[in-house]
Amino acid sequence: MATTTTNRRCLITGGAGFVGFHLTQNLLSDDATEVTLVDNFVRGRRDEDFDCLRSSSRVRIITGDICDPAFYQQLEGRSFDEVYHLAAIIGVKNVLERPHDVIRVNGMGTLALLDWFVQSNSGKLLFSSTSEAYAWTKGICDLPIPTPEDVPLALTDLKNPRASYAGSKIFGELAVNQYCQQYDKPFTIVRYHNVYGPHGTWDGGREKAPAAICRKVAQASLSGGSEIEIWGDGTRTRSFMYIDDCIKGTQMLTASDITEPLNIGSSELVSINQLVDIVEDIAGVQLQRKYLLDAPGGVNGRNSDNTLILAQLGWEPSTKLRDGLNITYDWVKEQIASGTASL
């Protein structure tokens, strides 16, 4: 039997997370690619699908804390063609309750990774930033919707715990730029906008809104539940990007020579109320909506201006929201019905 020669080695921090899981699947579709996943498994999923992924002879799992400089001893003598830095603490609940940990992990973790990366023989670094980087701009000037990449990045209330996430990602972009330019290392930065799809998680305050809403609607259809909780009054708008489009854009950006931050998101803008409407229609159920007092610091509207990435790489999302929600709802319902995820 002929053996496959590995000619591309990739490292993914946060490799057991939502985007990391799908990115690994995509990378492994190339038989000549080997993937090393780094995760502390505090948030990452360990399920049958992930076990199947990790059973591949071309996947290596390293459990560790990227904030600990000693961790990088496990990477000594190894170099990677591509390094995807996805590890971070996310989720409104985590940000509100543990802002100091958000700063520590997202800030110190990125610095520790960069200290290793610039001294290694590894190639391209992709840093995953966020649309939250624009969230506080509204405090100093009008925030255009859709939002282009050249708007000022600002933090207007450092005492607000919600500033910890946006601040840590802005700091990460700064650190990646300065480290990689100083050491002449190739890099790219992507600002993700609300990614959703199968294998997303919803517990522990780390849900993406579509996955959480799909879960609530699935609960109603399976157990007769009738209530869904929504932050604010449900009129806030977002653009939700299906995971396959996210991964395609990520791969195209990594393969490019672009160093300026680029948005990867959907231009299909919907409110949370409209999102619930669509999922209810898909499921054939209707829920009673309970509106909660919103956490301070939220943004009324967030939408991705994809002009630059379309012009430079030809990327644009191809999955309509309803189609992506159909797939996500079916997966969530199957997880609950099988007992993989509890009601």
Residue-wise burial string across 149-168, b where 16 or more C-beta atoms lie within 10 A, e elsewhere: bebebbbeeeebbbbbbbbb
Q: Which residues pair with 59 in a beta bridge?
A: 35
Q: Round to whole Å and give the CA distance between 321 and 315.
A: 17
Q: Round to whole Å and give the CA distance between 118 and 227.
A: 51
Could you give phi then psi for residue 236, rounded to 5 degrees? Answer: -60, 140
Q: Which residue in 264, 243, 242 sits closest to 313, CA to CA?
A: 264
Q: Are 24 and 37 in contact (CB under 8 A)?
A: yes
Q: DSSP state, 156?
A: S
Q: Round to whole Å and give the CA distance between 261 and 174.
A: 11
Query: Does residue 291 carry a catalytic annotation?
Result: no
Reading the block at residue 1, the tokens are 């039997």
Catalytically annotated residue among 72, 84, 134, 165 = 165
Q: Give the neighbor-by-neighbor strand order of the sheet with 187-192.
A: 59-63, 33-39, 8-13, 82-85, 124-130, 187-192, 262-264
Q: Are 320 and 273 in contact (CB under 8 A)?
A: no
Dump the DSSP string for 284-342: T---EEEEEPPPTT--SB--B--HHHHHHH-------HHHHHHHHHHHHHHHHHTTSS-
Q: Which residues are catalytic?
A: 165
